[in-house]
Structure 1
Amino acid sequence: MKLTFAGMDGIIILSAFAVIMLVIGYLSGRGEKNLHHSLSGYYLAGRNLGFIALFFTLYATQYSGNTIVGYAPSAYRTGFSWLQSISFMTIIIGVYLLFAPRLYVVAKRKKFITPTDWLEFRFKSKAVTLLSIFLMLWGLGNYLLEQLVAIGQAVAGMTGGTIPYQIAVIAFVLVMLAYEWMGGMKAVAFTDVMQGIILMVGIFVFLIGALYLVGGNFSEVTNYIQQSEPAKVAVPPAETSINWLSMLVLVGLGASIYPHAVQRIYSAQSERTLKKSFARMAWMPPITTGLVFVIGIVGLMLFPNLDTGGSEQLVGLMANKIAAIHPIYYWMMIIFFGGIVAAILSTADSVLLSFSSMLSNDVYGKFINPNASEHKKVMVGKVGGIVAIFGLLIIAWNPPGTLYQIFVLKFELLVQVFPAFVLGLYWKKMSAKPVFLGMLIGAALSGYLTLTGHKTVYGIHGGVIGLMANFAVCVLGTIFAKATAKSALKEEDVSVLELKA
């Protein structure tokens, strides 16, 4: 994603973004006496996020480095079958609406902090809680690694290599740690507003510039691809279509239970605010992922015959050409790429905050020191998050595979929590033992297929195969359980679940 034109101008814009984020972090924490002494205050912004903050923190979290840096190259390599990216971003919102309003009511009444608080309340099982903690921390760690890689690539590319990859990662990680330490979820949400607006505007400007370079006629682009690479506009083979459906299931179900996304449900000011935010989010896939898809397709005409490594630099190559159109485009490209870095950071800070909350509330608070004060739990989470992120930096130093490959891997295990998480909201008789066995078998099967190189079987992802086994064990295990093996729910717990029935 190297920009040959940016150099010192890129450094100036990035420095400005860094200063703004630090100021937001400082202002978010100033005067908040209980911020660092309350789990809900630090990790959930006091459960008081209004519509604008909630919408943009959801937007900036869902549309991150992969949206621009990873998805456009994927469209370039795959062709028109990458339209699936719009579909799986849309289905995520549909799945949210399936369970988010109901979960919000339960979470508000029971004062949940992390996603596994819900699972602990629902199943009263240490085994279910521990396994779900592991799977969710795995997903968060993988996702955070992806963002660290993207930060390094974006900053190094934007500054024309003036700031090396490793230095870029360290510098912006320190900025992120600083403003998150000062303001918690409140700082994260307010920085997301800035980052989300820049990302939205920048995508439109980028697309306008890209279309200008090809004469403003998208039909010419499709005619060119039809002649030069007909396979990329042809009806995909059956296995590709199956893979598409598999991806919809994997991403649609997996992304909807990201711990940091679930915690945004908890953070909403009201159920009305939550529903309003998701209603607006439903419009975002076509005008974000859809436009990025078009950018990747246009790139086939502007830069034909790039190999996999070359295609990963597509966005930077296109930005160099767009910047040469006019000085206005030059500065818009620099600001946009600064916004990309900020958007990547906005996802990384959300993931890190959620990772820290699970370390403090779930691992430390539930299993190591249940009697610890909330202030001590917050401090444990902060320090644990710092240790974790510097551990991941060691891996990010020599990143494995393309961004898209990293993106896919995290869902294989995370999605195994979905049956317990969502079915448990609607099926009161669902019991803990089948849930635990389903998650364990699903995770083991998915892990085995991934580690042995069988990421897909006839186009179906290993995580989806594991999920099917998981659902089967959960459902059949509950149905055929002995009459004495009843759910651990108490009458008062059932009444909570029936609030939204």
Structure 2
Amino acid sequence: MEMELAFSGWSGIFVLGLYGALMLGVGFYAFLRNRGMRESLDEYYLGGRGLGVMVLFFTFFATQYSGNTVIGYPPAAYRMGYHYLVSVPFFIMIIMVYLFFAPRLYALGRRFRLLTPVDWIDLRFRSKRVTVLAAILMLYGLANYLLEQFVAIGQGVSGLTGGTIPYQVGVIFFIVIMVAYSWLGGMRSVAWTDTIQGLALLFGVFTLLLGSLYYFGGPAGAAEQMQASAPEKLSPPEGPALMRWFSLLVLVGIGAAIYPHAVQRIFAARSEATLKRSFIRMAWMPFLTAGVVFMVGIIGIAAFPGLSTAESEQLVGIMANALANQHPFFYWAMVLLFGGVIAAIVSTADSVLLTFSSIISNDLYGRYIRPDASEYRKVLTGKLAGLVAVVILVLIAWYPPATLYQIFVLKFELLIQTAPALVLGLYWTRLSERAVFTGMLAGALLACLFTFLGYRPLGIYSGLWGLVLNLAICVGGTLLSGATEERRRHASEVIGFRY
């Protein structure tokens, strides 16, 4: 498709350089402000457990709504039509799941100085095999999510500059910036940049929607286009499609709520009241973010009909370039959108990298390899392990293996298998560590098998079949042979709740 490039040469490079300098400046500020405490695990990974309401809200927001939301969701809506309206309620589902377990987990995190979700699982079950398996599944989910963000960075830069800045150059540039400021300031620099990035994201998506409505028309034109070429995109899901819709709702609602980097933000809150106020603000965001980008995808059906799957992955960039050619105001608005989209992507990647490093340094290296290591040594080990993971994932992202949507779903299949240990363990003292380990392992293996075979009985995602098996083993195994009296007493002391 021929199109005059909206962002060419110096304008795109200027935005990239400005954003990179701003993020590095935040990292240096965090480094200088807290240089006396930078060797502390609490300070580096949790920001000293002192994040206030607005910073906590924006770091949750920028982590939850990121590159996949802005770059990946409109193409999915373009391909699926109104079936993809599920993207709004599953963000609501995430908040509901948060409210079920987050306040209780926060209180335990304060009481026992928990650093990561794996820390909680180890405290609750006192089982090396449960802890290591949970760490492996979480690291897989984090690595998968980090890969998703790297792909989104490259596609965002390439699409929004009309190819002026190549995909690979965009990936490398922002990864170097991200690693630099994360190393300098840890959670504080990540949370502060998340605040900037969250504001940029809100501005960007609303500007894109308003411009699209003005120049490309509203949903009515898209409905006419769908009625003529793909009427199934207008009809509500039925039968297998309805089951897939529901299973995606459950899969993402639970899976995203137990993101390790999101759970770590629970521990970083200044107080329980701060945490709850942040969640109240988050409750509005599904409509203001997921709903907005869904409408952008629907409008794109009429504005640019007939795009292939590969072409539709560049939909946001195509629409931004087209708007920028209409009027000088929208040119500069789309330049700012360019920075906002990249900012949103990087904001999630830095959070994921930080939590990935913390699980390596605290839960594996510090607990099993070098228990006597100093906190400085643990932090350094986490940084180096994160750097190695970044290099490996960049090599994979160089030629991305799947669409963003496929990458997005894949990570939940295994991550969600940690939910019974993480959440049930908060309330059920009888829960057996043997049943938890067996259920987690069996659920992960079943999810892998179904995913590998492409088998989806009743249209339900393989991760949910694994979770059903996982829960059945956890509950059934515990009822048949519960935890020993000693372990039950320990659980009661930890969670202060007897079933």
Q: What are the residue-to-residue correspondences of 1:356-375 with 2, within 5 Å? A: 356-375=357-376
Distance 1:31 1:235, change over 3 A: closer
How many angstroms does 1:87 deviate by? 1.1
SS in 2 for 1:458: helix
Report the counterpart of residue 330 of structure 1 in structure 2: 331
Distance 1:235 1:164 in 2: 39
2:461 matched to which residue of 1?
Answer: 461
Which SS does the other structure have where 2:5 is aligned? coil
Please state how far the C-alpha of 1:35 moved relative to its aligned partner. Answer: 3.3
Q: Once structures 1 and 2 are overlaid, which stretch shifts more, 226-235 or 4-13? A: 226-235
Question: TM-score, normalising length from structure 1?
Answer: 0.96
Q: CA deviation at 1:408?
A: 0.6
**Conserved in 1, the CA contact under 8 Å of 2:47 and 2:268?**
yes
Deviations, residues 403-448 of structure 1 (Å, cap 9, x unaligned): 1101110000000000111011011111100000000000000011
Matched, 1:115 2:113: no
Partner of 2:474: 474
Deviations 1:317-367 (A, max 9, x none): 111221123211111111111111111001000000000001100110011
Partner residue in 2 for 1:485: 484
Measured after TM superposition, the shift of residue 201 of structure 1 is: 1.4
Letter in 1 for 2:285: M
SS of aligned partner of 1:94: helix
- The reply to whether residue 150 of structure 1 matches residue 152 of structure 2 is yes
CA–CA distance in structure 1, aligned partners of residues 228 and 155 of structure 2:
33
Q: 2:181 & 2:321 partners in 1: Cα distance?
A: 32
> What RMSD over aligned residues (CA atoms) do the two structures have, in Å?
1.7
Percent of residue pairs bearing the same amino acid type: 52
Would you say the 8 A contact 1:431–1:487 is kept in 2? no
Query: SS state of the match for residue 160, structure 1?
Result: coil
Contact kept? 2:201, 2:341, Cα under 8 Å: yes
SS of 1:488's partner is helix
Show the 5 A alignment for 1:227-266: 227-266=228-267
Measured after TM superposition, the shift of residue 161 of structure 1 is 2.4
Amino acid at match of 2:328: P
Mapping for residues 100-139 of structure 1, pairs under 5 Å: 100-139=102-141
The residue aligned with 1:77 is: 79
Distance change >3 Å, CA 437–CA 34, structure 1 → 2 = farther
Secondary structure of the residue that 2:293 maps to in structure 1? helix
Equivalent pairs, count: 497
1:32-431 alignment runs, 5 A limit? 32-215=34-217, 217-431=218-432
- Paired with 1:440 and 1:500, the residues of 2 have a C-alpha distance of 26
Could you tell me how far 1:314 is from its partner in structure 2? 1.1
CA distance in 2, matches of 1:144, 1:59: 17
> How far apart are residue 495 of structure 1 and its match?
4.0
Which sits farther off after the overlay, 395-404 or 152-161?
A: 152-161
1:269-296, Cα deviation, whole Å (9 max, x unpaired): 0000000001110100011001111111
CA drift at 1:219: 3.0
2:14 aligns with: 12
Q: Which amino acid aligns with 1:147?
A: Q
CA shift for structure 1 position 221: 3.2
- Secondary structure of 2:496's aligned partner: helix
Other structure's SS at 1:79 match: helix
Determine if contact 2:44/2:186 at 8 Å carries over to the other structure: yes
Q: Return the TM-score normalized by structure 2.
A: 0.97
Measure, in 2, the Cα distance between the counterparts of 1:305 and 1:161.
21
Looking at structure 1, the residues matched to 467 and 107 of structure 2 have their Cα atoms a distance apart, in angstroms, of: 27
CA deviation string 1:178-211 (max 9, x = no partner): 1011100000000001110011111111111111
Query: Cα gap change, 1:224/1:31 in structure 2, threshold over 3 Å: closer, same or farther?
Result: closer
Inter-partner Cα distance in structure 2 for 1:487 and 1:174 = 49
Structure 2: unaligned runs, 5 residues or longer = none
Shift of 1:489: 4.5
Q: Per the alignment, in what secondary structure is the counterpart of residue 235 of structure 2? A: coil
1:29·1:35 contact (CA, 8 Å) conserved in 2? Answer: no
Instruction: Report if aligned partners of 1:430, 1:487 keep a CA contact under 8 Å in 2.
Output: no
Q: Which AA in structure 1 matches 2:300?
A: G
In structure 1, distance between residues paired with 2:46 and 2:423: 21
Q: Which residue of 2 aligns with 1:498?
A: 496
Deviations 1:130-158 (A, max 9, x none): 10000000000000011111111112223
SS where residue 87 of structure 2 aligns? helix
Q: CA deviation at 1:499?
A: 7.7
Q: 2:427·2:497 contact (CA, 8 Å) conserved in 1?
A: no
Distance in 2, matches of 1:68 and 1:192, equals 15
| C-alpha distance in 1 between matches for 2:397 and 2:139 | 17
